[in-house]
Amino acid sequence: MPKAPELAHFVETSTLLKPRPEEGAKDRTMVLNMGPQHPSTHGVLRLVIEIDGETILKVVPDIGYLHTGIEKTCEAKFYQQVVPMTDRIDYLCPMTNNLAYCLAVEKLLQLEIPDRAQWMRVLLNELTRLNSHLVWLGTHAMDIGALTVFLYCFREREEILRIFEHVSGQRMMTSYFRIGGLALEPPVDFFDRVRKFIKIMPEKIDEYENLLTGNPIFMNRLKGVGYLSAEDAISLGVTGPPLRASGVDWDLRRDMPYSSYEKFQFKVPVSTDGDVWARYLVRIQEMRESVKIVEQALEGMPEGRITADAPKVVLPDREKMKTQMESLIYHFKIVTEGFTVPAGQVYQAVESPRGEMGYYVVSDGTAKPYRVHMRNPSFATLQALQTMCAGRLIADVVAVIGSIDIVLGEIDR
Amino acid sequence: MLAALPENRALSSLLAWNADAVLDAIYDRRELTVTIASSQIRGACQTLKGAGYNFLEDVTCVDWYPSEPRFQVTYHILSHLLKERVRVLCPVESLDPGIDSITSIWPSANYYEREVWDLFGVRFHGHPDLRRIMMPEEWEGHPLRKDYPVEGYR
């Protein structure tokens, strides 16, 4: 008879909970395994929860199910080949990841990016934020039990994805930003399409709010749940909307501006309540601010080049590559050998829909990055789960996970 | 060399705390990088926290194989008040690599340090729960080390 396979790679659930409950307490508490296939864990998050009746004593996240070693893979690629890798980290905000990586390498190269490219990046980043927040709102409401909102949100998200496809050729993994600018000039009717979409967006947000804000069932599930104080949020590394919902007025777009965000007027919504409800309100207001930023970007979009004047880094125009010897040589060299980047190390952080997305790039002077490290907002925010859930009920865990808006792709990388 | 750098609160407070622990400081591409002796990291972080650098953004590591000291543990620390960040580097020797954990100063270092232990094999002394975080528990080797093949061992 064949031997049963050894299941050594399955970690015994109780070993994750250290220290173990004392002898006397053993009968009272129970260990519950939630995930990795649970629908409300947004991917493959596994939570090992110790409960006393229905009250949560301890939550231990077990992550790594999606670990694909992207940081290691980046070290084996040319600088420009890393851009598509960055899409796959956080699949809800690909443009934000593209931007953070491109800005980091541009800082290493000390490139000057033309205004038009910078404004396009801002425009697309805010559309990405809307896209990500729409997915968050839909799934969060669905976790709570409000199914309708999901369909409404995905209706508008579909239009954003179509705009992305129109501009970059891809709906989700856009890879539209390049080191030194953008991949292509935006198509002719791109701005009209965005204008049309952004005009209807405010009333759509009103529509979602009609369904949720003021809905007593929704409010009762969220108010006072998952409280996180400002001190805890800072000491646990929480960033983005959860940090602002705890009363810390910090937004990288305003406080450490990048890609000409300093030229835009927008408010940073802050709440002092620190619960799931506050996070909901902060994100809803952020969507309204994003609409304003897109409007400003459409209005003041400068004319000019979309790539930096750096022939050794930026691929030449197709036309020039076919007709000029010089451009052909540069094209050939960039594609086959990459471009060298002066030695040094930089850290570039941007405000992603989930918080601070930072890229730490180390160069040793060759054409491949020596080390690329991503600082991911969800990874740090997950540490606050214990503080937010302790003493609450199991059903609240679902609300809290929805409110921190995790994406497992960026946690595990 | 250190005198040539622009006035900076992080650097001046570190020098006032323990000038011998500050091995190097450079200001490159508008980012300040301070190298601290690895035995002094806890004191350095405490000093920076006292100087207004209240938020730990990131802890990671770079493997400079085959040169020595092989590992460079990197900390990014941000000040919400001053709106600037400082990078702290700690060189760590390859023989039984280890450094003090800073989880007592910033609890958020917990996951970052577990990740560095998992992927680089640098131990953090005094860490409350130093387990692998990305790789399975019984995995052998530390994948982000430079002598670990990209495609893994076959």
Q: For residue range B128-154, list pLDDT tens digits in order.
A: 888 888 888 888 889 999 988 888 777
Cα A14 from Cα A22, distance rounded (Å): 13
List the single residue in A9, A236, A346 with the smallest CB-CB distance to B31.
Answer: A346
Is the pLDDT at B3 greater than 60, yes or no?
Answer: no
Contact B92, B111 (CB under 8 A): no
Cβ pair B143:A72 closer than 8 A: yes
Out of 1.10.645.10, 3.40.630.40, 3.40.50.1000, 3.10.129.10, select the CATH number for domain A90-365: 1.10.645.10
Q: Which residue of B has its CA nearest to A349?
A: B57
pLDDT of residue B13: 86
Per the document, the length of chain A is: 413
Supply the ipTM of this predicted assembly: 0.92
pLDDT of residue A9: 47
In degrees and rounded to multiples of 5, residue A133 shows phi and psi of -65, -30
- The alpha carbon of residue B55 is apart from the nearest alpha carbon of chain A, in Å, by 6
- The alpha carbon of residue B42 is apart from the nearest alpha carbon of chain A, in Å, by 16
Concatenate the DSSP letters of all residues of A345-397 into one string: EEEEEEEETTEEEEEEEEE-SSSS-SEEEEE-HHHHHGGGHHHHHTTSBHHHH
Cβ pair B56:A110 closer than 8 A: no
pLDDT of residue B2: 56
List the single residue in B58, B76, B134 with the smallest CB-CB distance to A64.
Answer: B134
pLDDT of residue A27: 65
Cβ pair B108:A347 closer than 8 A: no
In degrees and rounded to multiples of 5, residue A363 shows phi and psi of -115, 140
- The alpha carbon of residue B15 is apart from the nearest alpha carbon of chain A, in Å, by 23
Q: Which residue of A has its CA nearest to B76?
A: A347
Cβ pair B28:A72 closer than 8 A: no
Residues of A within 8 A of B80 (CB-CB) are 234, 248, 250, 255
- Report domain extents, chain A: 13-62, 90-365
Q: Which residue of B has its CA nearest to A362?
A: B62
Catalogue all structural domains in chain B, each as residue range(s) with its CATH number. Answer: 2-125 (3.30.460.80)
Q: Residue-wise pLDDT tens for chain A (413 aa)?
A: 455 445 444 455 555 555 555 555 556 788 888 878 777 677 788 888 888 888 888 888 888 888 888 999 999 999 999 999 998 888 888 899 999 999 999 999 998 899 999 999 999 999 999 999 999 999 999 888 888 889 999 999 999 999 999 998 888 888 899 898 898 888 989 999 999 999 999 999 998 988 888 888 888 888 888 888 999 899 998 999 999 999 999 999 999 999 889 999 999 999 988 889 999 999 999 999 999 999 999 998 898 888 988 888 888 888 888 999 999 999 999 999 989 999 999 999 999 999 999 999 999 989 999 999 999 999 989 989 888 888 888 888 888 988 888 888 888 88
Q: Which residues contact B6 (CB under 8 A, 6 or more apart)?
A: B27
Q: Which residue of B has its CA nearest to A18?
A: B129
pLDDT of residue A51: 86
pLDDT of residue B16: 84
Contact A289, A267 (CB under 8 A): yes
**pTM attached to this predicted model:** 0.90
